[in-house]
Amino acid sequence: MTAVNVIRTNSAMGRKMLLLAAFCVAWSQTTGLTTIQDTLFRADGTRFNGTLTVNWVTFDATNVGTIVQQSRTVQIVNGNLQLQLVPNATATPPANIYTVNYQSGGYQQFTENWTVPVSSTPLTVSAVRVSNSTPGTGGGGTSNATTLPESAIIGLQADLSQRVAKGVGFGTNAVAVVDDNGNLVTAVGDPGTCVFVDGTTGPCTGDTFADAETPGGTVNGVNNTLTLAFAPLGSSMLLFRNGLYLTPNFDYTLSSQTITFVNGGTPQPGDTLTASYRVDTSNSGNLGNLTNPVPTHSPQVICSSAGTSATTTAWTTVGGCDVPVTGLNPGDRIEIRFTFAHTGNTQGYNLQINWGNTTILNRTAAPQDSAVAGTAEAAISATGALISVESYGTVLPFAPALVNAPLQAGLEVTFRAQMLGTGPDSVALTNYTVTRYPGN
């Protein structure tokens, strides 16, 4: 609420006040400032008493220069407000505003925004206000803030484009890795395996044991050298001949993976030799990368769970499993096992399994099919996957199929079902398991 003050000039004091006001206007014109002058009231008609704090961020003002970020507090006594501000209506950057906080009685009453134009005459608060007041901790009010599009916030879209987004294979409660598209996905592996720098998983670095290994080579009484699968770590090897312990550097010598027996100690036909030792994998990450490689990759269960039920004629997703891009390396194999159970015997039903955007199974079961089960195995290559599928039911005949699927940067295996009529029958995905067999 504003009020107009009438200054009477029929007295010496009035003439002085008029001259003072004219001087202030002239001074503001020379300094480039705009005067805000008003009388403020409370809702009950009494005059407002308190403080007004003006806050601003750094901006460049025409004909003034750079205005650095700061604030200013003005005391309001008996409703009288007068202050001068640099015009910001044409400021750089645009949309720069003054944020004005009103305090009274120890509480912040409300907040509003000002845009101050260039003016040679004093302006009232209503002339510079650009949004209605918002409530504070001690006063009422109704918020009417202006919603700005993202494009209006300088630098916002560029900053948002730098954030990492969730990928198709994103999950929770697991280690996250960044895929080839710069998105976050979940590392695929069992508890206890390690995540490597390239995002793949495998046995953790450190010692691995070779127990009761039979050294390679011919045992014929003539050959005195045998070969181990790996080079033992330090002096960890225990070598036995027919159950008797052989002493290193007395019965034999060891060089890397080669055992050389001393003269007179050559193994004879019928002898049984076993070696137990520790293998250091710290330089390779797994046994398969050492000399004489032996694959030691363990299967990794990606998902194993019970699904939900379908009771209507609409297609219903009853289960799903995210396979991140790190689980789709050439040479990998993904195995899918599933079992559906049918409750009732009056309606048939349809089943469908999708490998990402490719349907790999679509079968219709009879009312007499109390269960349908099957498997699918996807052989991953550099160009996609060749998927072999087998399914059968209580009366549904066994049906094999081969399906080609394109290369996909992460995908979801989904299970869907629908009833072929209305009634009490239902079909449930009782169990499904998706397992990865890593390649070399």
pLDDT, average across residues 239-257:
90
pLDDT, average across residues 26-32:
56
pLDDT band at 13 (very low <50, low <70, confident <90, very high): low
Whole-number pLDDT of residue 136:
47
Strand 184-186, strand 176-178: pairing: antiparallel
- What CATH number should be reported for the domain holding residue 261? 2.60.40
Which comes out higher in pLDDT, residue 356 or 211? 356
Euclidean distance between CA atoms 436 and 194, whole angstroms: 16
pLDDT in tens, 382-392: 999 999 999 99
247 and 306 in a single domain? The answer is: no
185: in domain: no
Which comes out higher in pLDDT, residue 245 or 199? 245
144: in domain: no
Listed in sequence order, the residues at least 6 apart from 18 whose beta carbon sits closer than 8 Å to its beta carbon are: 7, 9
pLDDT in tens, 58-90: 888 877 889 999 999 999 999 999 999 999 888
252 and 326 in a single domain? The answer is: no
Whole-number pLDDT of residue 310:
95
pLDDT, average across residues 340-354:
96
Euclidean distance between CA atoms 253 and 39, whole angstroms: 104
Listed in sequence order, the residues at least 6 apart from 361 whose beta carbon sits closer than 8 Å to its beta carbon are: 351, 352, 353, 374, 376, 389, 391, 401
Which comes out higher in pLDDT, residue 287 or 330? 330
At position 48, the amino acid (one-letter code) is: F
259 and 329 in a single domain? The answer is: no
Q: Which domain covers residue 330, as residue numbers?
A: 300-437
279 and 347 in a single domain? The answer is: no
Number of domains in the chain: 3
Longest Cα separation, the chain: 137
Which comes out higher in pLDDT, residue 115 or 18? 115
What count of other Cβ atoms lies within 10 Å of the Cβ of residue 43?
9
CA atoms within 13 A of residue 139's CA, in its CB half-sphere? 20
Residue 153 · residue 143 · CB < 8 Å: no
Give the helix ranges, DSSP H, for 290-433. none
215 and 108 in a single domain? The answer is: no
Euclidean distance between CA atoms 416 and 304, whole angstroms: 16
354 and 405 in a single domain? The answer is: yes
Final residue of a structural domain among 269, 289, 309? 289
pLDDT at 421 over 50: yes
> What are the backbone dihedrals phi and psi of residue 76, each rounded to the nearest 5 degrees, phi first?
-110, 115
Euclidean distance between CA atoms 382 and 385, whole angstroms: 8
Euclidean distance between CA atoms 354 and 361, whole angstroms: 7
pLDDT, average across residues 235-244:
89
Q: Which of 51-55, 232-236, 332-336, 394-398 has the lowest mean pLDDT?
A: 232-236
Q: Which of 16-20, 126-130, 187-191 has the lowest mean pLDDT?
A: 16-20
Count of residues in the chain: 440
pLDDT in tens, 145-182: 556 677 667 788 888 877 888 887 787 777 888 887 78
What would the two tokens of residue 14 be? 């009035």
pLDDT, average across residues 403-427:
93
pLDDT band at 138 (very low <50, low <70, confident <90, very high): very low
Whole-number pLDDT of residue 281:
60
pLDDT at 369 over 80: yes
Residue 317 · residue 432 · CB < 8 Å: no
336 and 271 in a single domain? The answer is: no
Listed in sequence order, the residues at least 6 apart from 59 whose beta carbon sits closer than 8 Å to its beta carbon are: 66, 67, 88, 91, 92, 93, 96
Euclidean distance between CA atoms 307 and 305, whole angstroms: 6
146: in domain: no
**CA distances (Å), origin 391, targets 59, 301, 388, 426, 430:** 70, 21, 10, 19, 15
Q: Which of 49-58, 140-149, 231-240, 413-422 has the lowest mean pLDDT?
A: 140-149
Which comes out higher in pLDDT, residue 108 or 150? 108
Q: What is the average pLDDT value for the chain, to the nearest integer?
A: 83
90 and 17 in a single domain? The answer is: yes
346 and 432 in a single domain? The answer is: yes
Which comes out higher in pLDDT, residue 53 or 235? 53
What count of other Cβ atoms lies within 10 Å of the Cβ of residue 52?
20
Euclidean distance between CA atoms 353 and 438, whole angstroms: 23
Whole-number pLDDT of residue 241:
92
310 and 421 in a single domain? The answer is: yes
pLDDT band at 92 (very low <50, low <70, confident <90, very high): confident
pLDDT in tens, 270-317: 999 999 988 766 544 333 333 344 444 567 888 899 999 999 999 999
